[in-house]
Chains A and B, each alone.
Chain A
């Protein structure tokens, strides 16, 4: 998932960023509300994790404004404010979950998964496209009883493609979604990554599923099951 993590204390931000990245998420980590505000206007996120007390714009205001713009990605408040009234204010501001610091990272990861499951594509901890299954907890791809392990990068691209099936995704879009804010991918990074993922897909017999649309980008073309096209190409 593409996650925006906002936390002003670097001592807390860094490990949170590390653990979420290790779990296969693409995490944009920022330390103040204003930057976060700008980022949500620029980019689509699958989840927002917000601290309450932030410099410039507070997490609660950030959440409210985000909801006012009509965006629906889940918001998780992660804060030291622990009274019932704080929780009520937080949830009423549009947060979907509220965790009080200090939080067990294992619980945090589970909550992140739980919030991610709200996506209509989610079934259990698995993403489905045709008969292809992407297991989110152990980063494996499964098709016709064949299972292969993906690298974190491959997994991230696969997840992004599966979440946008039959949609041409430009190189720019992929770069923006997969590379953290402020990091610049190498010029052929997307091409290399797509090539690697193609090899993986071939290994489960899903050859030519990842189509290059010349001059536009890439598209995940899963043959529909009814037409019995699978394995044909």
Chain B
């Protein structure tokens, strides 16, 4: 699925970028053609004007006469200063051929003044200019000069060659870039998808396991013969009750996660004192610590710490952290609860010297259903949702939750909440 999307993305990218490139190359080429032709025409015009300047129009034996003696190519003794002229022709003002050099010329001037491109029978491209020569406001004739377009053609051939080689290479590069970018774009999508997949797989497993247990307990109860005191049946029913209770906890946790997605509405927040919120919690956990042979040390500030929060949710988050700490600390260990303020935020720390979390698992512990070790949590009866719930609550309060751990030596969970919230 992902590789197909990536391929699609790369294809569309290559296609759009490729068409832009091809159009661009076409425009560049046509500009180049025009440019080359303009330069060539300018050169040709310069040469033909220089030639025309040599035309003498003078009074000779009482008649005005055109003298082409000094004109390069046309004149008899003039060395041609340019060797790239194929032919030069002189027509009188009536368009009759007077003199020519090079290829045989038509007797009558057949084209209008200006530039023309001609293809000769030898398959040669020529650029021809026909220039009316005017002296003293009098048209004295037409000069027609042609030059081969070899240099232009060579230049353009060169350009075409580099374009035909360059464009496919660039297209290939675009394709590769598209593939790479597609991969880059797919990465977060793939991660989110995998996370969702894992979550649904975990959730389905977690929900099916108790269902399977309930069903098989009930069925065994039905299938087996009733014993005298009914103790077997009683035992099955007790099992079913236990499993159903734990399943109901799981379901309410899941519903909780679904219900409290996103930020909290400002109107549900109350101005509360964190210290007085936590005092009863500390008392409750002190009692539990005694039964578990742990010591709970609470460092609560003397003065109230006021913040805007949903008290029940916040209490739930801290309870989850405390439960976690109690769960993973062996008998004789210590759990510490600390609250202190730092400029604009309050920090709630739950520290234990329990079994800790391996470094490889640390980045995942806030993921739903994530368990550091399946055996351990099954024994301790967790679903791996407590920390995700805590995280979700803290984030809904625009806060941050972090965990540090030293495997085998204990973990520290820290909640940071803004004191003056900008809800």
Instruction: Check if B375 is an interface residue, CB within 8 A of chain A.
Output: yes
- Which of B211, B213, B243 counts the most chain A CB atoms within 10 A? B213
User: Given A80-B205, A102-B212, A102-B215, does the pair A11, B220 have CB atoms closer than 8 Å?
Assistant: no
Residue contact A106 to B219, C-beta cutoff 8 Å: yes
Min CB distance A152 to B, Å, is 12
Min CB distance B304 to A, Å, is 46
Bound CA–CA A82/B213 (angstroms) = 17
Instruction: Check if A14 is an interface residue, CB within 8 A of chain B.
Output: yes
User: Given A8-B375, A53-B205, A55-B374, does the pair A105, B212 have CB atoms closer than 8 Å?
Assistant: no
Interface size on B, residues (CB 8 A): 25
Residue contact A105 to B208, C-beta cutoff 8 Å: no
Instruction: Check if A28 is an interface residue, CB within 8 A of chain B.
Output: no
User: Given A8-B374, A8-B375, A80-B204, does the pair A19, B220 have CB atoms closer than 8 Å?
Assistant: yes
Instruction: Check if A81 is an interface residue, CB within 8 A of chain B.
Output: yes
Residue contact A12 to B212, C-beta cutoff 8 Å: yes
B378 CB contact (under 8 Å) in A9, A81, A101: A9
Majority SS at the chain A contact face: loop
Residues of B within 8 A of A22 (CB): 220, 223-224
A12 CB contact (under 8 Å) in B204, B213, B224, B374: B213
Instruction: Check if A15 is an interface residue, CB within 8 A of chain B.
Output: yes
Residue contact B219 to A101, C-beta cutoff 8 Å: no
Those of A48-64 within 8 Å (CB) of chain B: 53, 55-56
Those of B233-263 within 8 Å (CB) of chain A: 236, 239, 242-243
Residue contact A105 to B205, C-beta cutoff 8 Å: no
Residue contact B243 to A82, C-beta cutoff 8 Å: no
Instruction: Check if B105 is an interface residue, CB within 8 A of chain A.
Output: no
Those of B17-43 within 8 Å (CB) of chain A: none
Bound CA–CA A15/B201 (angstroms) = 25
Residues of B within 8 A of A12 (CB): 209, 212-213, 216
Residues of B within 8 A of A11 (CB): 209-210, 213, 217, 239, 242-243
Residue contact B236 to A15, C-beta cutoff 8 Å: yes
Residue contact B239 to A14, C-beta cutoff 8 Å: yes
Residues of A within 8 A of B211 (CB): 101-102
Residues of A within 8 A of B205 (CB): 53, 80-81
Residues of A within 8 A of B374 (CB): 8, 53, 55
Residue contact A82 to B204, C-beta cutoff 8 Å: yes
Residues of B within 8 A of A100 (CB): 208
Residue contact A9 to B213, C-beta cutoff 8 Å: yes
A-B contact pairs, 9 of them (CB 8 A): A8-B375, A11-B242, A15-B216, A53-B205, A55-B374, A82-B204, A101-B211, A104-B219, A105-B223
Interface residues of B (CB under 8 A from A): 201, 204-205, 208-217, 219-220, 223-224, 236, 239, 242-243, 373-375, 378
Supplied contacts A8-B378, A15-B217, 10 more A-B pairs, CB within 8 Å: A8-B374, A11-B217, A19-B223, A55-B375, A100-B208, A101-B208, A102-B208, A102-B212, A105-B219, A105-B223
